[in-house]
Amino acid sequence: MLIKRAPMFKASEITDDRLYLNRREFMAGAAALALAPSIVSAGAAASAPDGKALQSTKNEKFSIPDKPTPFKDATTYNNFYEFGMDKEDPSKYAHLLKPRPWSVQVDGLVHKPRRFDVEEILRFPLEERVYSLRCVEAWSMVIPWIGFPLANLLKQVEPMGTAKFVEFTTLKDPEQFPGQKPSFFGGSAVEWPYVEGLRLDEAMHPLTLVTVGMYGQVLPNQNGAPIRIVVPWKYGFKSGKSIVRMRLTEEQPKTAWEKAAPQEYGFYSNVNPTVDHPRWSQATERRIGEFMRRKTLMFNGYADQVASLYAGMDLKKNY
Ligand SMILES: Nc1nc2c(c(=O)[nH]1)N[C@H]1C(S)=C(S)[C@@H](COP(=O)(O)O)O[C@H]1N2
Ligand SMILES: [Mo]
């Protein structure tokens, strides 16, 4: 039987995840000893950036000093359910996605709705910003993203006074995303297309990034090519990949994960170590590549910059 509305992750997967990483570390150790080099090098993904280079200016003010996660981990350990539900699926099937031609429709409650071609989006002044991405599964990575503030793009379409939210929609095309096929093995956990959303003030916050690259190159397909959103103070699933539409609305958008499991994945999904997921703790995280778990920080370390957006809100209710 296909379980159509399965919650995002089973508690057992969280455990498997740790075992998997320990196995990888063991393999890496074995490689260092030259015991199993052929096995370690068998993966399809490159160990160093090998895509098209992308120029950008480093924004130190908006970067954390942490050491970036190895490129190979950031491109082979992914959540992108359009390609399948296993961490290896996105890098395995990423070649099916065609990131050109591509455009993003920006419409809804705006005075100047329009379509942006990807080449035009690449002409915005690009910055490199090192952010950590904290997944709701309690692991994190540090990634040098390349992009620009979403506010710069939204200003061009002139949001109306009635606009309160932005809805982000990912491409729906089962030919490019095998995980969207009705016949997909195991069924899918979410309804397609993948939809995410932010309140307009969150969307306009200078930390919220339209992202077109990472590690000095264009975004690899498995990381959301050619255009994704990155919202560093929220759990990773708020950062929708391969975006084709941004729609400004008065009503709060219905997000894919809220529809799939509302008691587990709320609209806000701010990183908050004091609010556990119903099936596991959010107090600590495993930084990919590190051995010890670290304490998770409120708003993923951005409390000074973003806490004021939620003044007066009960963050336990608005999880
Ligand atoms: N369209 C789409 N966007 C998505 C997802 C997805 O399954 N589909 N997964 C999310 C989750 S759960 C995480 S943690 C991040 C992972 O981003 P990364 O693979 O670049 O690290 O992407 C988010 N964006
Ligand atoms: Mo995630």
So what's the pLDDT on residue 48?
84
Compute φ and ψ for 229, nearest 5 degrees: -105, 145
pTM, 2 dp: 0.89
Residue nearest ligand 1's atom 15 by CA: 236
Q: Are strands 243-249 and 103-108 parallel, antiparallel or unpaired?
A: parallel
Report the phi/psi class of residue 152: left, alpha or beta, with left for phi > 0 and alpha for psi in -120 to 50: alpha
Please determine, for residue 42, whether its predicted confidence score (pLDDT) is greater than 50.
no
pLDDT at residue 3 tops 80:
no
**pLDDT value at 135 more than 70:** yes
**Which pLDDT belongs to residue 49?**
87
pLDDT (tens digit, 9 = 90+) per residue, 89-126? 999 999 999 999 999 999 999 999 999 999 999 999 99
Separation CA 165–CA 251 (nearest Å): 7
Give the bridge partners for 142, in sequence order: 132
Domains of the chain by residue range: 11-310
DSSP code per residue over 84-123: -SSTTHHHHHGGG---SS-EEEEEESBSS-EEEEHHHHTT
Q: Which of 77, 133, 74 is nearest to 271 (CA)?
A: 133
Which pLDDT tens digit goes with each residue over 144-198? Answer: 999 999 999 999 999 999 999 999 999 999 999 999 998 776 667 899 999 999 9
Q: Is the pLDDT of residue 36 over 60?
A: no
Q: Ligand 1: which residues within 6 Å by Cβ?
A: 78-82, 133, 135, 141, 170, 194, 223-224, 236-237, 239-242
- Quick one: pLDDT at residue 8? 60
pLDDT for position 318: 94
Span from the CA of 134 to the centroid of ligand 2 (angstroms): 7
Nearest CA to ligand 1 atom 23: 237
CATH (residue range 11-310):
3.90.420.10
pLDDT band at 282; cut points 50, 70, 90: very high
User: pLDDT band at 46, cuts 50/70/90?
Assistant: confident
Distance between Cα 111 and ligand 2 center (Å): 34
CB neighbourhood size of 51 (10 A): 17
CA angle 216/217/222 to nearest 5° reads 125
Cβ neighbours of residue 36 closer than 8 Å, sequence gap 6 or more: 27, 30
Convert the pLDDT of each residue in 237-251 to its tens digit: 999 999 999 999 999
Terminal Cα-to-Cα distance of the chain (whole angstroms): 32
**Residue 227 alpha carbon to ligand 2 centre in Å:** 18
